[in-house]
A and B are shown apart, each in its own frame.
Chain A
Amino acid sequence: MKHSDSNGKMWLRSLVIGIAATCCSSVALAHHSFALFDRSKLTTLSGTVREWKWANPHTWLTVVVRKADGTDEEWALVGSSPNMMSRWGWNAADIKAGDKVMVDIHPARDGKTIGELHTVFLTGGKVLADPGGQTGEALAGGPSDLPTKPQGEPYK
């Protein structure tokens, strides 16, 4: 029962993300690739920050993920612009190389180790949501209803 419950929630979440991606992404995602990333999917990465680049047109978070088999994998994650992110509570100094992070991402469709930032969970408990894909109203109004823990499928 529990299993099917969580499947149901997953389905609902996928649907919600899908709808959000379909109808509300038009304002803020001018620069982003729609072809590369699957916005109907969320994957959770746990790893160590190698690079955090706060620059336009996009921020880049490079995370080294240790896989279940003991090998390391480098993930390049693209965020929206520092301008948009700072309006949503991000600060360049929030993240630095060596930090442990959990990150919800939209994964690449072709299985490459790249992704689009969705939400970053810092060890201190701070949660930062990427405003990419939000409506103009949400961009002007600031973030709301931040998740407290990762929502994606854990990557192993």
Chain B
Amino acid sequence: MKTVARNAPRNDTARVLCGWLGSLLVLVLSAPSGAARAAAVPQSMDEQTKAWREIATLPDFWQGTWQSVSPIADDFPTPPDYTPAALDYVKHYKPVEDSPFANCKPLGLPFVMNIGGMPMKFFQSPGMIALYIESSGMTRFIHTDGRQHSERPNPTYLGESIGHWEGDTLVVDSAGFAPDTLFQLGKLDKKALAQGDPSPLSGVIFGQHGPNLRLVERMRLANFNTLEVQTTIFDDSVFKRPYSLPPRRYIRGIERRNEPQEWACTDNRDYFDPNSGKLEYNVKDKAQSR
């Protein structure tokens, strides 16, 4: 080996042969573990180099941050096909003036993608895409190593996310949600609302999702500076058929002010009064980190 290495620069034939043999060796060695999946986590320097080169060919979700320009609540332009239990819930739903989240507890998917005051940022390394959502100070981990969902994922606020690319679209499939992640079942008819109600949340029907909630998000660049995320909700205890939401839009920011920041929720004086359906402020006892 030593001799070959020393002679190689002066001997083209030997170098080519050596390179070819080396590549063959890598192929033979990697075939069983890689299982012909380009997305798998690289096990060697060569595989890693290749994986990073592949990342460089993907649509640029990575540069800068993404600021939501969509309304906070989802629109349900076509009436969902509710299960009898969900239909009963929707029929008896009393609209509230404020959003029922007023504490430091994370919201979880799907609604965590809707809170738009602060941007999100994508990161990637071979086998994983991470998405930092500043408005909740949480990071989503999207596995792109070709794995399947766990048989029994433990319940979490962000679920278990597995992604793959379909052309220029990142398709993210998530399941395994904690029962208390904030969930929007639909939107009340405008007629049911008080006239001139300024709250974008007043017509929103929040409720419980089912244990089988699964989300499929299709993320793509509508143009270089606009990210679109279209979500389809699978929840057999709420919808008879999966419900496809209209896409949400995010714009790219590359200035310093658009950079991600920490978000630690430490001084909460808000609370939601379930009796009045309103947010109130506890200015007497000051902060309560609920």
Contacts and interface: CB of A to CB of B under 8 A. Distances in A.
A100 interface: no
Nearest to B73: A26
Contacts, number: 133
Contact of A36 (B67, B114, B280): B280
Contact of A83 (B71, B263, B268, B270): B263
B279 A140 contact: no
Contact of A136 (B116, B277, B280, B283): B116
From B97, B114, B115, B269, name the one whose CB has the most chain A CB atoms within 10 angstroms. Answer: B269
A27 B70 contact: yes
A33 B269 CA distance: 12
Given A136-B67, A136-B116, A36 B279 contact: yes
Interface string B105-119: 000000000111111
B257 A142 contact: yes
Given A22-B198, A27-B116, A140-B258, A60 B71 contact: no
Given A21-B198, A137-B251, A83 B134 contact: yes
A67 to B, nearest CB: 19
B265 interface: yes
Contact of B117 (A21, A39, A83, A142): A83
Contacts of B278: 33, 35-36
Interface residues of B, number: 51
**Interface range on chain A (Cβ under 8 Å from partner):** 35 or more
Interface stretch (B22-30, B39-47, B121-129, B199-207): B199-207
B253 interface: yes
B26 to A, nearest CB: 45
A34 B98 contact: yes
From A30, A80, A83, name the one whose CB has the most chain B CB atoms within 10 angstroms. Answer: A30
A27 B71 contact: yes
Interface stretch (A1-9, A51-59, A91-99): A51-59
Contacts of A83: 117-118, 134-135, 261, 263
A51 to B, nearest CB: 9
A33 B251 contact: no
B287 interface: yes
From A34, A39, A58, A137, name the one whose CB has the most chain B CB atoms within 10 angstroms. Answer: A34
Contacts of A84: 117-118
Interface in B230-261: 250-251, 253, 255, 257-258, 261
A37 B202 CA distance: 15
Interface of A: 18, 21-22, 25-36, 39, 53, 55-58, 60, 76, 78, 80-81, 83-84, 86-88, 114, 131, 135-137, 139-140, 142
12 contacts: A22-B198, A26-B72, A28-B116, A30-B116, A33-B278, A33-B281, A36-B279, A36-B281, A58-B269, A76-B281, A139-B67, A139-B117
* 4 nearest CB pairs, A to B: A33-B279, A136-B69, A34-B199, A55-B267
